[in-house]
Amino acid sequence: MRITALIAAVLALAGCFVYDNPFDTGIPPTATLQIVVTAAGYDGTYEWNSMDSAYEAIVGSTMYYVYLDADCYWILANGLNQSHTGGCIASSVSQYGALPATTLSGWSGVISAVDDTAGGVCLQPGSPDSPVTVGSTLKVVFVASETGNGATYKWLRSIDYAGLIAVTVGTDSTYTVQSSDVSRWMRVIVTPTDSTGKRKGTPVVSQPVWVL
């Protein structure tokens, strides 16, 4: 089924992705924080399949998937094991999804990630926090909606905003800013896990915060 035949809005995954459909404009579309798929004759939803680690839906006679590729970019594809570098229908423009803080107190407040039992973390829109200083405590609060579920944490320090050149500096739910972090960007990757400690769904990365 040609993607250009997708014409009726049918899907929104609880605010967790965005997918737009201008396929023949010459500009590749991207997946960000909500997926909105338009399809003729389709009125279902994308559902999480833990066996494939992907959100899936059949449109016409074709199965479509939304998942993180090997480089942790979101992609929309009509097959598994495709990559954002080629072969997929659309892809995100950065790794993971953005998870900003729920307050404006520069990460001395709370960043919340919610295990929504569909295999992912619901994200909230937002901008990078205000700068923090040495001695500040950066804190992540993870709220699991299933008993026994949890998360792992990876705090990263980078010299660049995008975090392409980053080192791991902590693995707890909190991190105290060190003098070695000055003039660096800090962020945390939250990975939901099930009761056995196995990854459940997809990791997300926070917005970066600057250390003064």
3-class secondary structure, 144: strand
| Beta-bridge partner residues of 56 | 47, 65
pLDDT in the model for residue 118: 53
Paired with 188 in beta bridges are 155
Count the neighbouring beta carbons within 10 Å of the beta carbon of residue 31.
Answer: 23
Residue 179, both tokens: 């003098």
- Comparing CA positions, the residue from 86, 85, 31 lying closest to residue 54 is 31
**What whole-number distance in Å separates Cα of residue 159 and Cα of residue 36?**
35
Q: Mark out the alpha helices in 143-183 (DSSP H runs).
A: none
- pLDDT given for residue 121 in this prediction: 65
In angstroms, the CA 81 to CA 59 distance is 19
Q: What pLDDT score was predicted for residue 158? A: 93
Q: Residue 191: is it exposed, middle or buried by C-beta count within 10 angstroms (0-12/13-18/19+)?
A: buried
CB atoms within 10 A of CB 29: 17
Q: Would you state the pLDDT for residue 29? A: 47
Q: What is the pTM assigned to this prediction? A: 0.64
Residue type, 160: D
Going along the chain from its start, the domains and CATH numbers come out as: 3-95 (no CATH), 98-210 (2.60.40)
Q: What is the dihedral of CA 111, 172, 16, 81, to 10 degrees?
A: 160
Per-residue pLDDT of the chain (212 residues; tens, 9 = 90+): 433 333 233 333 333 333 333 344 445 444 443 455 555 555 566 777 778 878 888 887 889 888 888 887 888 899 999 998 888 888 877 777 666 666 555 555 566 677 665 555 666 556 677 788 999 888 887 777 778 888 889 999 999 887 878 999 999 999 999 999 999 999 888 888 888 888 776 677 787 888 99
Quick one: pLDDT at residue 105?
54
Instruction: State how far the Cα of 75 lies from the Cα of 144, in Å rounded to an integer.
Output: 25
Question: CA-CA distances (angstroms) from residue 123 to 32, 158, 168?
Answer: 11, 23, 23
